[in-house]
């Protein structure tokens, strides 16, 4: 604390070629400052800002192609999938081709084809989660179209309803993937994967 009339240089200390002056301490407390308000940051990019247009287009075109191919393909004998009636496609599951064990996604393509043909019973027998994934892909079309519309309009923020739908969509996808894995573990435990 500095008395009136005293100069802070009176208390200076010399350290080598430098002179250090201690800070002046006041007897009057400084007024309380309100805490700084820290703006809340978005937890996920997709909740607040629209996705880039390229991502929206890929999101719209990807499921559209998968669903269109489901209607253009047919199931042949056994595990065989044919494109445009009679053109067999090679097996794409490397786990089944190398070890003879189905992977968690085995049967999804054939399940989608059966669903596109209106045969949910056959789809269920191949991969029950395939039905959920097929419906999930159908739901991607309007959601991706809404994201594209917001992106094309160059909005800075996603409307709350679209942000909420996107959040549910992410959780549903995680649930479907977990379902695929749990179904695969159950089939592995019962020995139903060897075929």
Per-residue pLDDT band for 76 (boundaries 50, 70, 90) equals: confident
Please provide the size of the chain in residues.
195
Q: How far apart are CA 26 and CA 45, in angstroms?
A: 48
Query: Alpha helix locations (H) across 73-127?
Result: 94-99, 108-116, 120-126
| Per-residue pLDDT tens over the stretch 134-176 | 999 999 999 999 999 998 988 888 889 998 999 999 999 999 9
Q: How far apart are CA 76 and CA 90, in angstroms?
A: 12
Q: What is the Cα 136 distance to its own chain's centre?
A: 14
CB-CB neighbours of 147 under 10 Å:
24
**Residue 60: what pLDDT?**
93
């Amino acid at each position: 604390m500095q008395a009136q009339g005293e100069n802070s240089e009176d208390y200076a200390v010399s350290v080598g070629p430098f002179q250090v002056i201690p800070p002046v301490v006041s007897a009057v407390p400084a007024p309380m400052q309100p805490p700084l308000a820290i703006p809340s940051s978005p937890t996920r990019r997709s909740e607040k800002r629209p996705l880039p247009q390229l991502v929206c287009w890929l999101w719209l075109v990807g499921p559209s192609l998968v669903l269109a191919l489901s209607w253009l393909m047919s199931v042949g004998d056994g595990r065989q999938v044919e494109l445009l009636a009679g053109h067999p496609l090679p097996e794409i599951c490397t786990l089944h081709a190398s070890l003879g064990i189905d992977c968690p996604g085995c049967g999804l393509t054939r399940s989608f084809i059966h669903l596109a043909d209106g045969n949910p019973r056959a789809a269920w027998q191949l991969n029950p989660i395939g039905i959920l994934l097929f419906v999930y892909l159908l739901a991607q079309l309007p959601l991706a179209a809404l994201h594209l519309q917001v992106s094309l309009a160059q909005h800075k923020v996603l409307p709350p309803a679209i942000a909420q739908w996107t959040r549910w969509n992410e959780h549903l996808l995680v649930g479907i993937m977990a379902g695929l894995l749990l179904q695969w573990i159950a089939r592995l435990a019962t020995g139903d994967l060897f075929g």
